Amino acid sequence: MGCHTLMGEGAYYAPELTKVVERRGEAFIKAMLKDPEKMFPGERKMQNYHFTDEQIADLYAFLQWIGKVDLNGFPPKPDLAQQSSAPAVGAPAVFTQMCTACHSLKGSGGNVGPALDGVGSRRTADFITAWLKDPAAVKADAKMAKMPLSESDISELTLFLVAQKN
């Protein structure tokens, strides 16, 4: 409560957490709680509390519960580049939970990173795989964080993104 707000109460310094599970999803929230600096290197001001896996599970369960409380439309939906809330057809779960926090596809998702429409026409599978493993290794000044993705996640995402042609 010293940084975030919950049900409108708190410090208003960091994002409102009432509906964070709906906005970000389990994978993103757990990764952020595990290591905030790794999620957004050099950009985030969230302190790493070195939560245990059990504490992260408990916090996630609480955020999941609080997000289901009927607050008559509060908080309002964030200003994302969204035209629909439907997940991209064939998208792996990790795409809808991690990637759409920043990127859009077919008008749905975040507007922080570049849109991923047609990425399969611009980038090869090898490039996408390397980028997902470590963006800074591909481009030193990459804005994208090195995400906590498993080899399986990277394979699924690569296949999905390569299929996104113009």
Using one digit for the tens of pLDDT, what is the confidence trace for 68-80? Answer: 998 887 777 665 4
Query: What pLDDT digit, counting tens, does each position of 108-156 carry?
Result: 887 778 999 999 999 999 999 999 999 999 999 888 888 889 999 999 9
Based on the fold, state whether residues 115 and 55 are members of the same structural domain.
no
User: What are the beta bridge partners of residue 105?
Assistant: 108
Distance from C-alpha of 135 to C-alpha of 138, rounded to nearest angstrom: 5
| Whether the predicted pLDDT of 81 surpasses 60 | no
Copy the structure tokens of residue 40.
């957004």
Q: What is the pTM of this model?
A: 0.67
Instruction: Tell whether 17 is covered by a domain.
Output: yes
Residue positions counted in the chain: 166
**pLDDT-derived band at 82, boundaries 50, 70, 90:** very low
Does 164 have pLDDT greater than 60?
A: yes
Tokens of 17: 């957490």
* Domain co-membership, 109 together with 50: no
Q: What percent of the chain has pLDDT over 70?
A: 90
Q: Which residues lie closer than 8 Å to 79 by C-beta, 6 or more apart?
A: 111
Report yes or no on 76 lying in a domain: no
Cβ 68 vs Cβ 21: under 8 Å: no
Q: Are residues 60 and 120 in the same domain?
A: no
Residue range of the domain that includes 126 = 93-162
**Do 59 and 113 share a domain, yes or no?**
no
Q: What's the CATH number where 157 sits?
A: 1.10.760.10
Structure tokens at 122: 């611009």
Residues 60 and 108 placed together within one structural domain of the fold: no
Residue 80 resides in a domain? no
**What is the reported pLDDT for 134?**
93
Confidence check: pLDDT of 85 > 50: no
Helix (H, G, I), strand (E, B), or coil: what is residue 5? strand
Q: Averaged over 99-108, what is the pLDDT? A: 86
- Residue 103 contacts residue 109 (beta carbons within 8 Å): yes
Question: What's the total number of domains in the chain?
Answer: 2
Name the residue with higher pLDDT: 30 or 108: 30
CA distances from 58 to 53, 64, 110 (A): 9, 10, 27
pLDDT value, residue 47: 87
Co-location of 25 and 61 in the same domain: yes
Comparing 79 with 32, the larger pLDDT belongs to: 32
Nearby residues of 64 by Cβ (< 8 Å), 6 or more positions away: 21
Residue 71 lies in a domain: no
Q: Could you tell me if 61 and 18 lie in one domain?
A: yes
Residue 54 maps to a domain = yes
